[in-house]
A and B are shown apart, each in its own frame.
Chain A
Amino acid sequence: MSRCARIAAAMKPCLNKPFAWLIMLAGLLVLASSGRAQIQIQIESEGLRRVPIAIAEFPGEGDGDLRLSQVIVDDLRRSGRFRSELGSPDPSYAIGGTPFHSSALRHNLEYVLVGRVDAGEDKIKISFQLFDALTGKNFETYSISVEEGQQRLAAHVVSNWLSEQILGIEGAFTSKIAYVLKSGPKSDALYELKVADYDGHNPQTVVKSTEPLISPEWSPDGNSLYYVSFEQQRPIIYEFNLLRGEPRVVAAFSGNNSAPAVSPDGRWLAAALSEAGSTNIFLISMDGTRRLRMRESSAINTEPDFAPDGRAIAYVSDELGSPHIYIWNQDDGSETRLTYNSYNVSPAYSPDGSVLAYVRRDEKGFNIHAMETGGEGRSIPLTSIRRADSPSFSPDGSMVLFKDEDYTNRLFTVSVAGKILFALPRSEQGEIINPLWGPIRSSWY
């Protein structure tokens, strides 16, 4: 609680919205986790089984973006872990009611969520109750009170709670994404580094520039964004602290300074530097006092991404002609080659380190593929489009966010399990560049 109060105070310089509701949400999350042991459904084979759940329409909810039942249906469906549908199987499902589960079971539903939205004087109260049709268990009724404009966040909190209760997996539906939006005429473009809800709603501009901005990278605590700016007429890496609200230069060596990646412990910045004319990956200490070359090569070496345990770095090298993905093992400095044919770029670790999402040029075009980092190193395509770009994992590992260069004003997610592809609602005018999913939570959000 005190943490949230402190955060709310600290956030004021960056954000113009009141954050008192965070305290209430935190209270709800505590409440939710206390009931966690009551139900433990183990998914037999993650990736195949989707939990069937109906989300009844919430009396009192709004239309369009404020149709909270639909927000929850979409959240769950995008994750690939639920088969969610809108609408109640039977009128007997209501808050505090005694439902007839036979109707749900007849529809092959295991869970039914009901809810209600009540507009109070200055707060909006969202109440909800979950029913387990298989066991006949009725969960307690919970409620969240938010201010006007925060209803979608409340719905995402309910989705997180459902993920936690039903799967035992912490949901990532309240996490944030960052991206660059390029807008305006091409000869006079505006570049904005933005932060938005994971589904693209509520975008907020963090940095504006008339020169290109690319390659946003979240700090592990979610409180800073690193990015590459061409404001000095060459690529330089900056950090923007979201709590303090100011940019600072972190790498401005001669040549290119690009592809920032932060180690999980926050002590090192990996970046592609080209001081000697060829692009190589360096480890730069955050205090700026040390700079170590990861490997010696006259080829292009770029796009570093730290493994979640911090002991390996995936990167791209075109040492053998075209770009391929390698892993550099910090334990002994050895390198493992992961890809062999075609053109492979932009590796991004899953939160557990077991999978890399990356862009591979295949027979269809540029597509997002997922490859195991250990074992047989199997690789499967997650998309089947022409021009996919910039993959990054959701912090719960269920989804990959990416860009389709044929639809540049939209964001896309695809679930790792079942490849459920979602085009997020169009909320921006312009071209989205380098979307990146942030950590599950931060002091900032």
Chain B
Amino acid sequence: MKPKKLVTVPILAAAAAMLLSSCAKEESIQSGLEPSEPEVVAPKVVERPRVHAEVADESSASSLGGLLGQRLIFFDYDKSAVKADDLGVLNAHADFLIINRGKTVVLEGHADERGSNEYNLALGLRRAEAVREIMVASGVYADQIETVSFGEERPLALGSDEEAWAENRRVRIVYSDE
């Protein structure tokens, strides 16, 4: 399945590239996530996250691409409100979880490095909770979602500038079977 709508925000493109590179690391590249998408701009500094083994099956969200291939939701500084642009992605994940009742996700909240580690840990959790609330409101069962925060401890982007900070203020949607 091809992506229906390509990301328009550079940071999301960066995020998509990150996902592609993490997939490419594994031998089993899914056809829906072609690494050669021309619209994907290689980011300047993108750190590969700790790669979870990509064991794909027919109903795996990672095999579906499109909105479901988007796993990162980004936030403004010291904010935990989900932006309107991201609701489409969250609704796609919600729909997928509703028709795959046995699937579960972990929502990982993160913050940029500014401010205190402890406040950022709480902020990361609140971001994950904000995403959870939207998914639950869309009909996902509460027992399908777990939230966790890594605060500022697991940055995606290196560097101490607005570009890196913007990439690090995120919630990552992680399917438990991936």
Residue positions of A touching B, CB distance < 8 A: 186-187, 212, 214-215, 228, 230, 233-235, 255-256, 258-259, 272, 274, 277-279, 300, 302-303, 316, 318, 322-323, 343, 345-346, 359, 361, 366, 387, 389-390, 405-406, 433-434
Tell me the bound Cα distance from A390 to B152 in angstroms.
14
B115 CB–A CB distance under 8 Å: yes
Contact B116 A274 (CB under 8 A): no
B-chain residues with CB within 8 Å of residue A405 when the two chains form the complex: 113, 160
Find residues 122-155 in chain B having any chain A CB closer than 8 Å to their own CB: 122-123, 125-126, 129, 132, 147-151, 153-155
> Is B118 touching A272 in the complex (CB atoms < 8 A)?
yes
| Interface contact A279-B126, CB-CB below 8 Å | yes
Which residue from chain A places its CB closest to the CB of B153 in the assembled complex? A212
Partner of B118, one of A187, A259, A343, A387: A259
Complex formed: what's the CA distance from A277 to B124 in Å? 11
| B123/A366 in contact, CB under 8 A | no
B149 touches A302 (CB 8 A): no
Contacting B115 at CB < 8 Å: which of A186, A235, A255, A345?
A345
Candidate in B113, B116, B121 with the most chain A CB atoms within 10 angstroms: B116
- B149: chain A residues at CB < 8 Å are 234-235, 256, 274
- Whether the Cβ atoms of B123 and A300 lie closer than 8 Å is yes
The CA-CA distance from A214 to B50 in the complex, in Å, is: 19
Q: Are A300 and B117 in contact (CB under 8 A)?
A: no
CA distance A176 to B156 in the complex (A): 34
Q: How many residue pairs at the A-B interface have CB separations less than 8 Å?
A: 96
Q: Tell whether A303 pairs with B47 under 8 Å between CB atoms, given A230-B153, A234-B148.
A: no
Q: Hey, what's the 0/1 contact readout for B73-94 against A, CB within 8 Å counting as 1?
A: 0000010000000000000000
- Report chain B residues within 8 Å CB of A366: 114-115
Asked if B42 lies at the interface with its beta carbon under 8 angstroms from chain A, I say no
A256/B116 in contact, CB under 8 A? no
Cβ contact within 8 Å between B78 and A302: no
Please state if A433 and B148 are interface contacts (CB–CB under 8 Å): no
Closest CB-CB distance, B122 to chain A, in whole Å? 4
CB-CB < 8 A to B147: which residues of A? 255, 277
| B141: min CB distance to chain A, Å | 16
How far apart sit A323 and B121, CA to CA, in the bound complex (Å)?
13
Report A-chain residues with C-beta under 8 Å of the C-beta of B126.
Answer: 278-279, 300
Pick from A186, A235, A278: contact of B121, CB under 8 Å:
A235
A390: which B residues are within 8 A, CB to CB? Answer: 116-117
Contact of A359 among B78, B116, B132 (CB under 8 A): B116
State whether A316 touches B125 (Cβ < 8 A). Answer: no
CB of A433 within 8 A of CB of B117, answer yes
Most chain A CB within 10 A, of B78, B117, B148, B153, is at B117
Number of interface residues of B (CB under 8 A): 28
Q: Are B129 and A316 in contact (CB under 8 A)?
A: no
* Pair A214/B117 contact, Cβ less than 8 Å: yes
Interface-centre pick from B115, B123, B126, B160 (highest chain A CB count, 10 A):
B115
Sample (15) of A-B pairs whose CB atoms are under 8 Å apart: A214-B117, A214-B121, A215-B118, A228-B121, A234-B148, A255-B147, A258-B118, A259-B118, A272-B118, A272-B121, A272-B122, A274-B149, A279-B126, A303-B116, A316-B116
**Residues in B whose Cβ lies below 8 Å from that of A302:** 118-119, 121-122
The distance from the CB of B82 to the nearest CB of chain A, in whole angstroms, is: 15
Query: How far apart sit A32 and B22, CA to CA, in the bound complex (Å)?
Result: 64
Over the window 147-169 of chain B, the binary record of Cβ atoms lying under 8 Å from chain A Cβ atoms (1 yes, 0 no) is 11111011100101000000000
Q: Does B103 lie at the interface of the complex (its beta carbon under 8 Å from any beta carbon of A)?
A: no
B172 at interface by CB-CB < 8 Å: no
Q: Which of A187, A278, A322, A345 contacts B129 (CB 8 A)?
A: A278
Residue numbers in B under 8 Å from A316 (CB-CB): 116, 118-119
Please, how many angstroms separate the alpha-carbon atoms of A256 and B125 in the complex? 8
| Min CB–CB distance A357 → chain B (angstroms) | 13
- In angstroms, how far is the closest chain B Cβ from the Cβ of A365? 9
For the A-B complex with A258-B118, A346-B118 known, give 5 more contacts whose Cβ atoms are closer than 8 Å.
Answer: A186-B158, A230-B150, A256-B125, A345-B119, A433-B117
Point out the residues of chain B lying under 8 angstroms from A234, CB to CB. Answer: 148-149
Instruction: For A228, list chain B residues within 8 Å (CB).
Output: 121
Roughly how many angstroms separate A323 CA and B50 CA in the complex, as a whole number? 31
Which residues in B have their C-beta under 8 angstroms from that of A345?
Answer: 115-116, 118-119
Which residues on the A side are within 8 Å of B48 (C-beta)? 187
Chain A residues positioned under 8 Å from B155 (CB to CB):
186
* Best-buried of A233, A277, A361 by chain B (most CB within 10 Å): A277
A186 with B47: in contact, given A215-B117, A345-B115, A359-B116 (CB under 8 Å)? yes
CB of B131 to closest CB in A, whole Å? 12
Measured CB to CB, the nearest residue on chain A to B155 is A186
Give the Cβ gap from B17 to chain A, nearest Cβ, in Å: 16
Q: Once the chains bind, are A256 and B122 in contact (CB under 8 Å)?
A: yes
Cα distance A405–B113 when bound, in Å? 9
- Contact residues in A for B122 (Cβ distance below 8 Å): 256, 258, 272, 274, 279, 300, 302
Shortest distance between the CB of B74 and any CB in chain A (Å): 19
Separation of A435 and B114 alpha carbons in the complex (Å): 16
CB of A279 within 8 A of CB of B47, answer no
Please measure, in the bound complex, the distance between the C-alpha atom of A279 and the C-alpha atom of B117, giving whole angstroms: 14
6 closest residue pairs by CB, A with B: A212-B153, A279-B122, A345-B116, A300-B122, A259-B118, A346-B116
Q: Determine the distance from Cα of A409 to Cα of B153 in the docked complex, in whole angstroms.
A: 16
Contacts of B47 in A (CB 8 A): 186-187
A255→B125 contact, CB < 8 A: yes
Chain B nearest Cβ from A293, distance in angstroms: 15
Bound CA span A186–B48, Å: 10
Question: Within 8 Å CB of B123, what residues of A?
Answer: 300
CA distance A359 to B120 in the complex (A): 14
Give the distance to chain A from B144, nearest Cβ to Cβ, in Å: 15
Q: Which residues of A contact B129 (CB under 8 A)?
A: 277-278
